[in-house]
Chain A
Amino acid sequence: MHYHLTLLSRAFRLHLLRWSRYRADVAVWIVTIVITIAINLTFAYSMFQASGGMFFGYTFPELLSFFGVSLLATGLAQSTVHGSVLNLSKVVWSGNFDFWLLQPPGFFWRMLIEDMGVVWFWPQCVIGAILLFFTIPVVHWPFAFLTSLVAAAIEIGVMLCVSLPAIRWGLWSPEEGMWEYMENARLMPIGRTRNFMLWFVSFGVLHYSLALEVLTGRLSIFLLILIAIVLYLLAWLLLKLFLRSYSSASS
């Protein structure tokens, strides 16, 4: 326990060190996010006005809470995806994965120490949480955060399932793979402008819509949890296959 806490604190400090090295980029990133949120809110407000106060059956606060959930969950998910998938891909293809295998901590703990992407995605976690605080009654806050967490878990699960085979066998770029997934899942005609769009296109994706259904009391959270469990089980199996085939074939 003490060992893992030490590792976590080290990971946190390394995050801060990296953050301080890339602070100019982080500042630009924050401005970008704020502008994009403004664009989305304007879009939502126009749609809300045009639909006469109803937006696909949701009220305006519900719609805002949807944005809150989406932002918070995608912030969490993209941090993990950025950290795990992209770093794992980098470390495997550069051959440095060999060092990971020889270091004492288990695979997940070693991965956690890497740049988890919180450096880049914390603003949307913060803004998403603020939106939830504004739009959801106080008594529902824990439930709203739990829903966001499960929605993020689903996103991560999907990403891992899509990306692990790509990382191991190099059938496609995991970043590109995520893009395909994002584009197809959201059916939005967007250009390939790389990571900036990753969270932007998250609006409207199925599991966030499901999260909103849970928030508005139309769906059980257990269904969402079940989806997350199935996806994680699949990702775990893929990871097992990945580690097994890596240590028996790669040189």
Chain B
Amino acid sequence: MWRKWVNVNAVDGISFRIPEGSFVGFLGPNGAGKTTTLKMLSGILTPSGGSCRVLGFTPSDRKRAFKKQIALVMGQKSQLIWDLPPTDTFVLHRDLYEIPRAQWNETLMTLTKLLRVEHVLDTPVRQLSLGERMKCELIVALLHRPKVLFLDEPTIGLDIISRIHLWEFLRTYQKQQNITIILTSHYVHDIVNLCQKVIIINTGKIVFDGLFDTLIDRLEPDRHGIIRFQRENLKEEQRRQIAKMVKDRHLEQIDAETYRISVPKNQLSAATQWIFKSFPIEEMRMEEVDLKTVIERAFAMDSAS
């Protein structure tokens, strides 16, 4: 009996540019190649072909000057010393990265305040909650003020409150320091709330590279809303118009008074104005774009589409 080896191209001929100071999200299903891409960009893995440049360096050379300008945070791994308080890891990193003491003090104070973790600095890491630990991981990564920060699923396993805190912090910090952040996540809301640009990877290939709004417009061109007509004030002509719209599938009847409207995004304003002018409306509200559907469609795209 022999073990059978199969070669898999985790990442296959991808090409992209990320401008300095931007917040970019990598989205993709499990095994899409997000983490492999991140590992190649940070220098952990050497690409078997092609090349990549980060801050003017070839990451896989792992030059000390390069390593001092980047940081990596992985949601499922920790670089904190498990049985000692986080402060000991912070001090260790001060020595590893040769951070001047004054700068280290100032950065640490700012970060602990922003992340609200002053109270856990002397608690052994093993006793911290997942949220507190992740915040400390971020502090360790940012102590040397990197120009590029790689975040690999930093919110994995966190509750919604911790995730919101993390979003707030990352948004503020990225704007303040103008650093480049590259984020991978399974959670589409992480990407929506943080990233200006999104790169979608599937089976090792890029299927989309652009603004998130562009992706939504492309995969979900229609906007949906709920309309409740004042039934008793509807005239016969208006009832006929509504029936025609239902027939033409511009409206979908939900119950006797409630309808669901779908209009292309670029006609939304005109359509709502016309409805308000033409019908007695009791209530009208727009629905949020269903990101789950958008992402499902995005994951189903291939690189040619």
Contact = CB atoms under 8 A, between A and B. Distances in A.
Interface string B148-171: 000000000000000000000000
A61 interface: no
Interface residues of B, number: 33
B60 interface: yes
B98 A3 contact: yes
A10 B81 CA distance: 13
A248 B64 CA distance: 20
Interface in B42-62: 42-46, 48, 60, 62
Contacts of B70: 102
Interface residues of A, number: 23
A250 interface: yes
A14 B81 CA distance: 10
Given A10-B95, A251-B10, A96 B84 contact: no
B213 to A, nearest CB: 32
B91 interface: yes
B4 interface: no
A193 B74 CA distance: 36
B46 A98 contact: no
A190 B46 CA distance: 45
A98 B60 CA distance: 12
Contacts of B78: 96
Contact of A6 (B64, B88, B95): B95
Contacts of A95: 74, 76-77
Contact of A17 (B45, B79, B88, B95): B88
Interface string A12-28: 00100110010000000
A81 B64 CA distance: 27
A161 interface: no
B151 to A, nearest CB: 14
B96 A247 contact: no
A17 B87 CA distance: 12
Given A101-B43, A103-B96, A104-B68, A251 B36 contact: yes
B255 interface: no
Nearest to A100: B79
Contacts of A113: 92, 96
Given A96-B77, A99-B72, 11 more contacts: A6-B95, A17-B88, A18-B84, A21-B84, A98-B74, A98-B77, A99-B77, A99-B79, A101-B62, A104-B67, A247-B60
Interface of B: 10, 35-36, 39, 42-46, 48, 60, 62, 64, 67-68, 70-72, 74, 76-79, 81, 83-84, 88, 91-92, 95-98
